[in-house]
Structure 1
Amino acid sequence: MMEETEELSGRKRDEADSFRLHMVTWNVATADPPDDVTLLLHLNAPKSPDLYVIGLQEVYSGPVRFMSDRVFDDSWSKLLMDTLAPRSYVKVSSIRLQGLLLLCFCKLQHLPFIRDVQARYTRTGIYGYWGNKGGVSVRLSFYGHMLCFLNCHLAAHMDYASERVDEFQCILDTQAFDCPKAPRISDHRLVFWFGDLNFRIQDHGMHFVRSCIAEQSYHLLWSQDQLTMMKKKDRVLQEFEEGPLDFPPTYKFDLNSDIYDSSGKKRKPAWTDRILWRLRPNEEEEEEEEEEYPLRVRQELYTSNMEYSCSDHKPVIGVFTLELRKMCAGPLVRLQPDGDWSADMDAMVLYSPLQPITASPWDWIGLYKVGFTSVSDYITYTWVKDDEVASSEEVVQVYVSKEEIPVRGGECVLCYYSDALQCVVGVSEAFKVQGSKVASEEGLMPGNIDALDRTVSREDLLD
């Protein structure tokens, strides 16, 4: 019997899929983004991530810039989207609380399997009214597994270690999601907690700390790291794991240098910027599901990146492998263009529900250029119900007017957006849209055709 159990367990492990998660936390100290984030995102690595999760702190939030960022993407978001979109990454969600910014990206192929996406924020700065400190989170279901990413910027200064723990607990207690199975952060199967947590190195003097750093004897400093010390006292902190701090403390540097603070204050270096995770232990009522659909986490890399010097903090990178068995192996909807598409003729979309799904009058199908940045970045859309032409038990045909098709054509994909689930539940294969022959004959292609690329307002759908 034991052999059969071990064989079954081995089979389940063999069925698990591996996904690569690349995480970044960086206090950017109000600096503008660098020109190149190749090293930050490991864009030349032999294996590309399936997910990127990037948490920034102290993004510049002066009144004028902050108001413009509410209308247009801030410079950091724009750089990251423009960098990742050509590599077929789509922004799944983002949330900002003044200087706190959290962005989540996935490969296009995973988009139909990321559902129940919600974002929240909690202010803890200045008695909870000002957002200079606090936490922002994004929770989602990834192939049926509930994940939560929490980016925090906690209270500063050496003597506030207990206050930092209190702020973290406050964020855990106050953030709530519209999700019956995981209404709180701690209810999620896997939680990543990261950011400028501001824990310092106690007791050791400046000379000793800097000598340990120069000799790369980081282990001599671990015992006086405040987060390590607080974990011995606090049960909630004990649930979180962290890789070894085998990299130089990431705070505080002179700007545009690798030199620790040489100002009159001479602040002591510290590992203020951290990435931790917590895989929920089995509970009796969920043990069967977690045994049937295992989820394992393995950290592949935990390091700082010394190449970037525009801030007084260095960015920290964590790379993880998530091994899981998919709870949902196929998309909810299959869709494709009906025949060839051209800007000179009306077109049709064919879609087929692959699993029970109730089509809402507010469901829509978007047409996107290959390399689009986010769900709101469509060229045009068609309403699933209002524009339905014909249907059978298996296939529904939806009309798209030629007036809505981009005049110069290009490589495109179709995405089915479910209003009930508030996410994309189906993505087509890429296909070619032929440009307008009429526009070409009139000499409008390709030089001055940009003005004729028809787009529509997105805010009314996705706000």
Structure 2
Amino acid sequence: MGENRKIIMPRLVTSKLLHRQQLHGHGSVSEVSSVVEENLGKRPLNVHKDTFVYRLFTSTWNVGGIAPSDDLDLEDWLDARANTCDIYVLGFQEIVPLNARNVLGPTKSCISAKWNSLIEEALNKKERKEGAELNQESTNSSAVEGSMQGEGFRCIGSKQMVGIFTSVWVRSNLRPFIHHLDVSCIGSGIMGCLGNKGSVSIRFVLHETSFCFVCCHLASGGKEGDVLLRNLDVADILARTWFPGRATQELPEKIIEHDQVVLLGDLNYRISLEGAETRSLVKAKNWAILLENDQLLFEFSRGRHFEGWQEGLITFSPTYKYRHNSDQYYWCFDGARGEKKRAPAWCDRILWRGKGLKQVQYETCNYRLSDHRPVRAVFHAECDVSEGAQK
């Protein structure tokens, strides 16, 4: 006999109702932890399973070495006012300029801390406002604190490698069901090992489903042959990234062994057309012909380096290269003599693989901080929970 399974709620249910189901269904945190520890990685027969569906927000943004201002509002980027997502995975590239001092010197953690502070402010602004209103109406401080702990977001892990920075946030009431959080960094830049290019990966297990998020910055360049360097970077990251397994657990050690995987970042794939032709097609918004010549989609069709990976339909403008603080592409302006006017391209991408992961949104967001536009994707992510974990 196979597994008996039921979906707790339809995929389109709101997050708040879903969390109420979870909180009322589960026993104590220690009880749930013991069940997850005992059954992690196993799929026994004749076990009733429930499936919880979470909304997962992912986004990549190359910020071009520009530090955020103190008043930068990230609510629109994170769609925080809607308050419909349960997990946020945010990947940055070039949070510091990629000069020799930053590549070879100590990490400037103050920049990543500032980004995390702005993210926290955007995600929890609504909860703080509601908490302040509740505080005015009630003298019961524990009630106010409880409301914040239930619906607010907290960072469960973040990691910076030179300019690559990954930050993961979850609803507070989801944190007790997250286990085995690990980080792995791979440098593939100068000399094939420095961190000006490469990846920062964060993995964890939610209930009984393993997730891995890989934030990449691949080799740049629009010359013939540069696409091969990007392909080699991807192969290197997938081969060298390793998470420490445990003898008593059947935990994934490699990226593609996880149940659900999202790879996001400035992948730097360009459009294989002459610059003048690319610019003409961009001006006409002829995305169809441009996408026919997109290097990453071509690699998908060849099925060599991206077998098993998926990407949503691209319906947005190329994400690079914009003039700072402008909606115009860089080539529209007169630059200094000898300055390269790079043709537009969809450099910033989000790919995924795994059963139970369904993309429901894929788009760009109109922030003008850098020469890249942030790209975001929302998924419905199914997580297995054995019936025994709810008793």
Aligned to 1:48: 84
User: CA–CA distance in 1 between the matches of 2:377 and 2:258?
Assistant: 20
5+ residue gaps in structure 1? 280-294, 332-353, 355-463
User: CA–CA distance in 1 between the matches of 2:217 and 2:107?
Assistant: 23
Aligned to 2:183, the other structure's residue is in SS state strand
Aligned to 2:140: none
CA contact under 8 A between 1:232 and 1:238: conserved in structure 2? no
- 1:316-355 correspondence to structure 2 within 5 Å: 316-327=375-386
Aligned to 2:349: 274
Q: How does the TM-score come out when normalised to structure 1?
A: 0.62
Aligned to 1:60: 96
User: CA–CA distance in 2 between the matches of 1:329 and 1:109?
Assistant: 20
Aligned to 2:32: none
How far has the Cα of 1:221 moved from its partner?
Answer: 1.2
How far has the Cα of 1:318 moved from its partner?
Answer: 0.6
Flag the structure with larger Rg: 1
Deviations for 1:105-146, whole angstroms, at most 9, x for unmatched residues? 000011011110000100000123321000000010011101
Call closer, same or farther: CA 1:108–1:300 in 2, change over 3 Å. Answer: same
1:304 aligns with 2:364: yes
1:105 aligns with 2:169: yes
CA contact under 8 A between 1:299 and 1:318: conserved in structure 2? yes
Deviations for 1:284-339, whole angstroms, at most 9, x for unmatched residues? xxxxxxxxxxx512211111112x111010100111111333248859xxxxxxxx
User: CA–CA distance in 1 between the matches of 2:80 and 2:235?
Assistant: 35
1:74 aligns with 2:120: no
Match of 1:119 among 183, 186, 203: 183
Call closer, same or farther: CA 1:68–1:136 in 2, change over 3 Å. Answer: closer
CA contact under 8 A between 2:67 and 2:111: conserved in structure 1? no
CA contact under 8 A between 1:144 and 1:328: conserved in structure 2? no
Aligned to 1:38: 75
1:161 aligns with 2:227: yes
Aligned to 1:193: 263
User: CA–CA distance in 2 between the matches of 1:177 and 1:299?
Assistant: 26
Call closer, same or farther: CA 1:162–1:72 in 2, change over 3 Å. Answer: closer
Alignment RMSD: 2.8
Aligned to 1:247: 316
Aligned to 2:199, the other structure's residue is in SS state strand
How far has the Cα of 1:76 moved from its partner?
Answer: 1.3
Match of 2:199 among 98, 123, 135: 135
How far has the Cα of 1:56 moved from its partner?
Answer: 0.1
Aligned to 2:91, the other structure's residue is in SS state strand
Aligned to 1:176, the other structure's residue is in SS state coil
User: CA–CA distance in 2 between the matches of 1:183 and 1:32?
Assistant: 34
1:22 aligns with 2:81: no
How far has the Cα of 1:81 moved from its partner?
Answer: 2.4
Report the residue type matching 1:190 in the other structure. Answer: Q
Aligned to 1:314: 373
- 1:63-462 correspondence to structure 2 within 5 Å: 67=106, 69-70=108-109, 74-86=113-125, 87=127, 88-158=152-222, 159=224, 160-179=226-245, 180-203=250-273, 205-262=274-331, 263=335, 264-279=339-354, 295-306=355-366, 308-327=367-386
User: CA–CA distance in 1 between the matches of 2:201 and 2:64?
Assistant: 20
User: CA–CA distance in 1 between the matches of 2:267 and 2:303?
Assistant: 16
Aligned to 2:278, the other structure's residue is in SS state helix
Aligned to 1:456: none
Report the residue type matching 2:178 in the other structure. Answer: I
CA contact under 8 A between 2:360 and 2:377: conserved in structure 1? yes
User: CA–CA distance in 1 between the matches of 2:95 and 2:7?
Assistant: 47
Q: How does the TM-score come out when normalised to structure 2?
A: 0.73
Call closer, same or farther: CA 1:89–1:31 in 2, change over 3 Å. Answer: same
Whose helix fraction is larger, Structure 1's or Structure 2's?
A: 2
Whose strand fraction is larger, Structure 1's or Structure 2's?
A: 1
Report the residue type matching 2:297 in the other structure. Answer: T
Instruction: Report percent identity of matched pairs.
Output: 31
Aligned to 1:237, the other structure's residue is in SS state coil
How far has the Cα of 1:100 moved from its partner?
Answer: 0.3
User: CA–CA distance in 2 between the matches of 1:12 and 1:235?
Assistant: 38
CA contact under 8 A between 1:145 and 1:327: conserved in structure 2? no
Q: How many residues align?
A: 310
User: CA–CA distance in 1 between the matches of 2:284 and 2:102?
Assistant: 45
Deviations for 1:180-235, whole angstroms, at most 9, x for unmatched residues? 430111211111111000000002x3344334334433122112110111123343
User: CA–CA distance in 1 between the matches of 2:188 and 2:230?
Assistant: 10
Aligned to 2:385, the other structure's residue is in SS state coil
Report the residue type matching 1:314 in the other structure. Answer: R
